Structure 1
């Protein structure tokens, strides 16, 4: 049986149960051959004290979508993925709506992967620009 896009999205979101992704209400909403998109609602749950989106929540969204992208494109029966470095440039603040993180591969190596993650708002304004490096390591039995 070939997995449909809807089946993959369902499985990805089911994997978020009882994790930080569930706590932040991060939802995987789209993917393609070289990208993955997730969204997160901007509510008081992810605010900093002055009522705008917390940069740490933005980085958690970015690392989640980037790591998920790497998971989708490797053999998870043989390898596991870990983030090893993330950088973020926060360019604009936001108080409501959703933020969307789109991860695309800059480098898709056998061991390391580099992803560009653009975080935008409902109007496609750039909120943050992130870079994530992941590593794929062999599973041991």
Structure 2
């Protein structure tokens, strides 16, 4: 799957929360030498998605992200970035997740809000 191709791991998901990480490598950097925004968005969407799939209500068979808002507050060039996502709204047809991405020193790099549309069988 795509998250594995870019090196994302999500060791914890369930109970309305999820956590994952990405070890920054040269192929994650933009031409300016800093972490590419797409890598950060991919991490946040993936971690929120794992949280969503573990929090599906009865009758839902999956989900698709319909909106993702990002506020970038910093960047990184190396080390591990970690995303922690929490369920804000768990409805019958949608879920909303807030996610924070931090670097290995605990600095906030980005804040996200992801909305998922729940798919029915």
Smaller-chain TM-score bracket? over 0.9
Residue 15 of structure 1 corresponds to which residue in structure 2? none
Unaligned runs of at least 5 residues, structure 1 = 1-18
Residue 93 of structure 2 corresponds to which residue in structure 1? 111
Residue 117 of structure 2 corresponds to which residue in structure 1? 135
| Secondary structure class of the residue paired with 1:80 | strand
**Richer in helix (by share):** 1
Please report the TM-score for the alignment, with normalisation by the length of structure 2. 0.93
**Richer in strand (by share):** 2
The 1-side partners of 2:95 and 2:17 are apart by 13
Shift of 1:125: 0.8
The 1-side partners of 2:56 and 2:21 are apart by 22
Unaligned runs of at least 5 residues, structure 2 = none
The 1-side partners of 2:35 and 2:102 are apart by 12
Residue 29 of structure 2 corresponds to which residue in structure 1? 47
Q: CA RMSD in A?
A: 1.5
Residue 73 of structure 1 corresponds to which residue in structure 2? 55
Shift in CA distance, 97/77, structure 1 to aligned 2, threshold 3 Å? farther
Please report the TM-score for the alignment, with normalisation by the length of structure 1. 0.80
The 2-side partners of 1:74 and 1:32 are apart by 10
CA deviations 1:69-125 (Å, max 9, x no partner) are 100111588421100000111101101111111110111111111100000011111
